[in-house]
Chains A and B, each alone.
Chain A
Amino acid sequence: MIMLWQFIVALLIAPAVHGVMKQIRARLSRRPGPPIVQPYRDMRKLWGKEALAPSDASVLFTLAPAVLLGISATVLWLVPTVFATDRAAIDIISIALMLALGRFLLVLAALDCRSAFTAMAATREVTFAALTEAPMILALVSASLAHPTPLAETLAAGALILVMLAETARIPIDNQETHYELTMIHEGLLLEYSGWQLALVQLSAYVRQLAFFILIASLLPGDGIVKIAWILGLVVTIPVVERILPKLRLFEVPGLFTTATLLAFAAIGLRIVGVIAW
């Protein structure tokens, strides 16, 4: 029952979470920024507009947005609730492979467009995705081991945060607010989508982002209200990080994922050996 409620609430507030982050980031840059409900307004506006598709794009391109929303919703359904206490029960593999399915679909849609911009974004997307898979699974798996010390849990969450930065298209890996097609990754994939189809794709990105936040919170200590506090902490911290850090050069990003993998290995190592000091 809690699962269903969390699912519904999260689906509804996912765009608002994005709005809050955008607002914080704007304030940090001394701009007034769009109101928190702007994502809803944008989606309503887009929903009313007609959709365009490249003249030669196949049915894969036109079907992808709705399927993508279904996939993101499934990921949201699979993440544990904030009140869940059994951390070994997370279906890690289904979550990881469901995310991979969404990525596969979006990359194929991008390759279908005959556009150099979408193709370049697709190339980068699969490259980084290949490297984030290992730290993500290791970090999540560590939660099912014995000896949950705060240090080990923080290391695992840290690894997952680095993965999340890539998955949700954040600085230092990607920049959601850029206008240069050549530097885009996630935005670049969506370049050919428009109208109601773009609304669907954006909603699915918001949902996936919130699912990731809940997943990270599930690795951190505490239950219930503490978890919600963790999620809020992420929502506030990520714009600050985005404001402080510059975007990394493309081929320096793999180093970030190597760090994530090492953090996750350290978390597993601490829990295997049973270091209970911290």
Chain B
Amino acid sequence: MIRVSGFIALLAVSVLAIAVLWLHGTTAIAIVPALLSDALRLDFAATPLASPFLVLIAIVAPGIGLWNLSRGNDRDGFSLAGFALAMILVLLAQSVAAFILSWEIMSLVSTFLVATLHDRRYVRRAVFSYVIISQLGVMCLTAALAMLAMNAGSYRFETIAHFAGTIPALLRSVIFALALIGFGSKAGLIPLQFWLPRAHPAAPAAASAFLSGVMLKIAIYGLLLLGLQLASPVPLSWGIATLALGLISAVGGALYASVETDIKRLLAYSSIENIGIIVSGIGLVFVANVLGLHLLAELALLALLFAVLNHGLFKSLLFLSAGTIAQTARTTDMEHLGGLLRLLPATGVAMLVGCMAASALPPLNGFVSEWLLFMSFIHALIAAPMIVQILAACALAALALSGGLALAAYSKLFGIAMLGQRRDAREPQLLAHDRSWLGLVWLGTGCIALGLIPALAVASLQAVAESTLGTRELLSIPLPPSALALLPVLGVVAAIILLRVRGIRRVPTWTCGSPVTVRAQATASSFGNPLLTIFAPLLQAQRSTELCPPTWFPSRIVAKTQLRFRIDDVARNIAARIQNIARAMRIIQGGRLRVYLAYALVAVLVMLVIAR
């Protein structure tokens, strides 16, 4: 019963997101408190830029709700609905205080979601790093927004955007650097990604679906809001920096996904890759905008908004199916999985759709956005100043490399976990009345629909892009040939007919006459091993092989691979420094109430003297 009401709560949030979209432009809510009226005013209204993100929440929420109905925890539905509500608030916020307040609510609720399984040590550690990065982010954002408000003399976004052109150059750079840290840390952009592969797998599946599928996109929304409206135009150098950071994240995320052996961590790294691709698109929009290449900016913005929708759909689908796998096989370590397609046919097929969409394969939605984004970079390569041309060439190479690595990662995910034979002795656990796949089918249908009929989204996204960039050039958007799927689909039909007519005889796998064993199959680590070897200097993998006993004929061989994210070391060093400083500051922590009261008093006095 409580699960059903949780599902209804999620549905209600979805309906609310749609309702807000319908009301767009007509209603605005302003709460102006009497004290300090302007600084603390809370304005909420729906803007065109927020609409794709609202649509994303509206589509993803029912899917997660459906899954949660059979497989989630009892009370999860409500906290998930609350989380979605907080994200909607961020999208609607139209003043500094409203934005920061809803952003903090969103961070807080998501922290609770990550902390659901807090009795485990790794979850507590993940929560800890997540809280730290959230607070770092919100500090930077508050500073950036406060500077913008100071410059405009108002706390309303409308006025701030109006005065965006008057920001002095240095201040603009500072604001943008702060925003990049603030939003970049929330989006999991390298080098601020270290919390993401820890926090997303630590949360329950439904929560990680929301975290990866939707919350990362809220950070993307923030970056677009700031760069295209509140502080537009972004200086050229910062546009290039955004592009470069995006590309580094795309390649780095894909590389780690391709050598990862845990499903949920693989998906988290792949999220870093996808966010990187989207952010590189944002960088291109910024660069094109400041150089006055309006057509290019519009095309790139359209492509990245499409990518936002797509990633939200397929990544929540994949995280939910990872949840199903975790409950069925009681592990997400691919070394122990295999052959799940036979046990979970509906989940498996939906997951195949998700994997194909995530590898940008035709005819699914990921293909359309990848195609559009590649087209924007090709346009940049053909018609732009030389600096942009060189950037575009590098971007094409990086995007292609990350695409190839993502294909390796996802063929591993599906091929190892779903196909072949089970690699573990433990019996899988199936639910009696499992309807969780309905949620996956809902999301998978979205992936297929957007892939086969991209026109469903393109026209409205183009309107969003035009109104956000303020362009009125009617760009006829090139779309990938829609007949592309025709021959492969014909192939499927032909295959079914042929199998009916000709039949197929089942024989044991050919293994040179030796017995067919489960252990002959590739494992997740052996599948990623060549890439690990090729990229060893970048990945800094520590590998060791031990023969027991150390003779020519050992009875056992133990191979260990330990991966360290090199960029994590940067974060780790900074964290160690901060801890040292904190340790030094302990002197002033007396632990007595009187001392703290004295501190407060001194602080108030100092404030009064300064403010006098």
Whether B407 contacts A126 by the Cβ 8 Å rule is yes
Please name the residue on chain B nearest to A101 by beta carbon: B361
Alpha-carbon distance between A192 and B367 when the two chains are bound, in angstroms:
30
Cα–Cα, bound, A126→B529 (Å): 11
Cβ of B370 under 8 Å from chain A: yes
- Report, as a range, how many residues of chain B touch the other chain: 35 or more
Complex interface: stretch among A60-68, A212-220, A226-234: A60-68
Say yes or no: A77 contacts B408, CB within 8 Å.
Answer: no
- Residues of chain B from 487 to 522 with CB closer than 8 A to chain A in the complex: 487-492, 494-496, 498-499, 502-512, 516, 518, 520-522
Question: From residue 90 to 138 of chain A, which have CB atoms closer than 8 A to chain B?
Answer: 91-94, 96-98, 100-101, 103-104, 107-108, 110-117, 119-120, 122-124, 126-127, 129-134, 136-138
Q: Among A23-31, A35-43, A47-55, A150-158, which stretch is in contact with chain B? A: A47-55
Q: Is B530 an interface residue (CB 8 A)?
A: yes
Does B356 count as interface, using CB distance less than 8 angstroms? Answer: yes
B508/A54 in contact, CB under 8 A = yes
A257 to B266, CA, bound (A): 26
B367 touches A97 (CB 8 A): yes
A-B contact count (CB 8 A): 239
CB of A202 closer than 8 Å to a CB of B = no
Q: How far is the CB of A81 from chain B (nearest CB, A)?
A: 16
> Which of A66, A93, A110, A272 has a CB less than 8 Å from the CB of B495?
A66
Q: Which residues of A contact B520 (CB under 8 A)?
A: 114-116, 119
Per the bound structure, the CA–CA distance linking A119 and B489 in Å amounts to 26
A130 touches B509 (CB 8 A): no
State whether A93 touches B488 (Cβ < 8 A).
no
Question: In the assembly, what is the distance between CA of A191 and CA of B401, in Å?
Answer: 28
Does B307 lie at the interface of the complex (its beta carbon under 8 Å from any beta carbon of A)?
Answer: no
* Secondary structure call for the A interface: helix
Any A CB within 8 A of the CB of B269: no
Q: Is the CB of A115 within 8 A of B511?
A: yes
Cross-interface CB contact of A131 among B386, B398, B404, B516, cutoff 8 Å = B404
**Are A70 and B488 closer than 8 Å at their CB atoms?**
yes
The CA-CA distance from A133 to B403 in the complex, in Å, is 8
Q: Does B378 belong to the interface (CB within 8 Å)? A: yes
A91:B480 contact, CB within 8 angstroms: yes
Contacting residues, chain A, for B499 (C-beta < 8 A): 62-63
A63 pairs with B403, CB closer than 8 A: no
Known: A112-B415, A129-B407, A133-B400. A70 touches B489 (CB 8 A): yes
- Determine if B605 is an interface residue (Cβ-Cβ < 8 Å): no
How many angstroms from the CA of A254 to the CA of B535 in the assembled complex?
Answer: 10
**Min C-beta distance of A170 to chain B, whole Å:** 19
Q: Do A134 and B401 have beta carbons less than 8 Å apart?
A: yes
* Interface size, chain A (Cβ < 8 Å): 79
Whether B28 is near chain A, meaning CB under 8 Å from some CB there, is no
**A206 CB within 8 Å of chain B:** no
Query: How far in angstroms is the closest Cβ of chain B from A214?
Result: 17
B521 to chain A, nearest CB (A): 5
User: How many Å from the CB of A180 to the closest CB on chain B?
Assistant: 11
Residue B327 CB within 8 A of the other chain: no
- The contact string, 1 if C-beta is below 8 Å from chain A, for chain B 470-491, is 0000000000110010111111
Complex CA distance for A70 and B506, rounded to whole angstroms:
25
**Interface hit among B215-223, B231-239, B271-279, B416-424:** B416-424
What does the 1/0 interface line of A204-226 toward B look like (CB < 8 Å)?
A: 00000000000000000000000
Known contacts A73-B487, A130-B407; A111/B378 CB under 8 A: no
Q: Is the CB of A196 within 8 A of B371?
A: no
Contact status B386-A272, CB under 8 Å: yes
From residue B536, how far is it (CB to closest CB) to chain A in Å?
10
Q: A192-B509, A192-B510 are in contact. Are A63 and B521 (CB under 8 A)?
A: no
Question: Given contacts A97-B362, A138-B396, are A111 and B506 in contact (CB under 8 A)?
Answer: no
Cross-chain contact of B509 among A101, A114, A144 (Cβ < 8 A) = A114
B382 touching A145, Cβ below 8 Å: yes
Residue of A64, A69, A114 touching B420 (CB-CB under 8 A): A114
Whether B491 and A71, one on each chain, are in contact in the complex, defined by CB atoms closer than 8 angstroms, is: yes
| B126 in contact (CB, < 8 A) | no
B11-24 vs A, CB cutoff 8 Å, 1 = contact: the mask equals 00000000000000
Contact assessment for A130 and B362 in the assembled complex, using a CB-CB cutoff below 8 Å: no
Grouping DSSP codes into helix (H, G, I), strand (E, B) and loop, the B interface class, with mixed when no group exceeds half, is helix
The residue that A130 contacts in the complex, of B390, B401, B511, B516, with Cβ under 8 A, is B401
Counting CB contacts under 8 A, is A12 at the interface? no
Which chain A residue shows the least CB distance to B342?
A: A58
Name the CB-closest residue of B to A106.
Answer: B411
Contact present for B400 and A96 (CB under 8 Å): yes
B95-114 contacts to A, CB under 8 A, are: none
Residues on A with C-beta less than 8 A from B403 are: 97, 100, 133
**CB–CB B507/A130 < 8 A:** no
Point out the residue from A74, A97, A122 that lies within 8 Å of B415, measured CB to CB. Answer: A122
In the complex, whether A250 has a CB less than 8 A from a CB of chain B is: yes
Across the two chains, which residue of chain A brings its CB closest to B533?
A251
Beta-carbon contact of B496 and A55 below 8 Å: no
Shortest C-beta distance, A152 to chain B (Å), equals: 13
Q: Could you say which of B359, B489, B506 contacts A53, with CB atoms under 8 Å apart?
A: B506
For the complex, is B360 an interface residue (Cβ under 8 Å from A)?
A: yes
Q: Given the known inter-chain contacts A74-B484, A97-B362, A196-B502, please indicate yes or no for A116 contacting B508, CB distance below 8 A.
A: no
Flag if A138 contacts B397 (CB, 8 Å): yes
The residue of chain B having its C-beta at the shortest distance from the C-beta of A60 within the complex is B419
Given contacts A91-B481, A134-B400, is CB(A50)–CB(B415) below 8 Å? no
22 A/B residue pairs, CB under 8 Å, sorted by A: A50-B502, A52-B505, A53-B505, A53-B506, A55-B507, A63-B492, A70-B489, A74-B487, A78-B481, A91-B481, A93-B374, A93-B375, A94-B480, A100-B359, A100-B404, A114-B518, A126-B412, A130-B407, A136-B400, A138-B393, A138-B396, A261-B397
Q: Which 5 A-B pairs have the closest CB atoms?
A: A70-B491, A111-B415, A119-B522, A130-B404, A66-B495
18 further interface pairs, Cβ-Cβ under 8 Å (given A70-B492, A116-B522, A129-B408): A52-B506, A54-B506, A56-B421, A58-B342, A70-B487, A70-B491, A74-B488, A93-B370, A93-B374, A103-B407, A115-B509, A123-B529, A127-B408, A130-B404, A130-B407, A134-B398, A136-B400, A146-B382
